[in-house]
Amino acid sequence: MATAKVLFSILASLLVLEQALALATFDTDTVCIWGEDNCQIHGDNLTLILNQWSGITKWHFHMHIFLSSLCTVIFLAMHFFSGAAVKGTKEFLFGYVSKRIKLVPDNSAAVVTTYYASSPWVSTENDTHDEIDFEFLGNVTGEPYTIHTNIFVNGIGNKEEQFKSWFDPTSDYHNYTIFWSPYVVVWSIDDIVLRVFKNNKDKGIPFPKTRPMTVYSSIWNADDWACQGGQVKTNWTHQPFIARYLNYEDSVCLWTGTNSIQDCSAVTPENWYMAPQFRQLAPSQIDNMNDVRSYYMIYDYCSDTKRFNGAMPQECYLSPY
Ligand SMILES: *[C@@H]1O[C@H](CO)[C@@H](O)[C@H](O)[C@H]1NC(C)=O
Ligand SMILES: *[C@@H]1O[C@H](CO)[C@@H](O)[C@H](O)[C@H]1NC(C)=O
């Protein structure tokens, strides 16, 4: 598997696949689904705002996010603040999506900004959704953001990995990419891979392959949760909290019905992500990833033996790439 010739490179993919890269724009491919007044879409610019007193939180949206969180949820009374959320208009199975994001600057403690792909979330009782997450947990001025990643398959997550930001995500735009193929899911920032999740379905590990996803972005207030023992509070004197997004790009296999499960997994030139060079990371990418992981990783579910009572998820014993 680890033959040196293999070249998975998102950078190369961008060059090679320029035609395949549909220039999605926020304007044409995104709709606001929460906090109308707090979503601003201008061409390929998207601004999401969190402020106080402008609206009422919506339960279902918080419930969705809560699954993605490590924190225990304790809802307090109704809060009169509003964040915002947008949803892509395309449903797809596999491909590449990227957005450039500039996160909330200064004191952003308890403010969470997200960018994730998810299949429809049908019900709490019988949740079978798939999801690939980036979440950015704000911090007090001068302290690093936490970059939180997770993956859900058939409604089950519990695969969190967190990183300290190794750059200032608030002073400039950075490119956040999700790559998803039947072989692998790859999270990267500015072409540096920080995480891979390989398809080990043959070893009994679930992998998302049949449910179409849509891309979401949102900003919301997390201080009504018992994160970090509940001491982290949003400092509303700093409102409005503003996250900016630019350059929504994608190259995806559009979902046209259950036939897409086969069509999007077929090895054809249109399904560029099926090509051998996208099945595995290049050695230089692995080196960069290992550097980032050794210096900036702050949580790895595979190291959390206490949480799993020593019965670690099976993929923790397998090579991640
Ligand atoms: C989008 O944002 C960029 C960078 O902040 C800015 O230069 C540009 O004028 C904005 N475009 C629109 C249509 O708002
Ligand atoms: C905020 O910064 C502190 C100190 O560096 C760190 O321990 C903590 O995990 C950070 N919190 C978040 C939510 O990123």
- pLDDT tens digits along 144-166: 999 999 999 999 999 999 999 99
- Say how many residues make up the chain: 321
- pLDDT score of 100: 96
Per-residue model confidence as pLDDT tens digits over 230-283:
567 888 888 899 999 999 999 999 999 999 999 999 999 999 999 999 998 999
CB of residue 51 inside a 6 A radius of ligand 2 = no
How many Cα atoms within 13 Å fall on the side-chain side of residue 107? 9
Record the tokens describing residue 51, joined without a space.
């402020």
Per-residue model confidence as pLDDT tens digits over 106-120:
999 999 999 999 999
Contact (CB, 8 A) for 44 and 93: no
Query: Quick check: 75 pLDDT over 50?
Result: no
- pLDDT score of 76: 37
- Average pLDDT (72-96) is 75
The larger pLDDT score, comparing residue 57 to residue 184, is at 184
Question: Separation of 228 CA from ligand 2 center, angstroms?
Answer: 10
Question: Separation of 38 CA from ligand 2 center, angstroms?
Answer: 27
Per the rule left: phi > 0, alpha: psi between -120 and 50, beta: everything else, 253 is beta
| Calpha distance 50→59 (Å, rounded) | 16
- pLDDT score of 225: 54
Percent residues over pLDDT 90 in the chain:
68
- pLDDT score of 107: 92
CB of residue 109 inside a 6 A radius of ligand 2 = no
Contact (CB, 8 A) for 179 and 274: no
Closest listed ligand to the CA of 70 = 2
Print burial letters for 79-94: b (CB count within 10 Å at least 16), e (below 16).
Answer: bebbbbbbbbebbbbb
Closest ligand 1 atom, residue 45 Cα: 1
- pLDDT score of 122: 79
How many Cα atoms within 13 Å fall on the side-chain side of residue 129? 20
CB of residue 247 inside a 6 A radius of ligand 1 = no
CB of residue 40 inside a 6 A radius of ligand 1 = no
Q: pTM above 0.85?
A: yes
Residue 28: which pLDDT band, with cuts at 50, 70 and 90? Answer: confident
- pLDDT score of 74: 37
Query: Quick check: 7 pLDDT over 50?
Result: no
**H-helix segments, the chain:** 10-16, 26-29, 59-67, 259-263, 283-296
The catalytic site residues sit at 131, 135
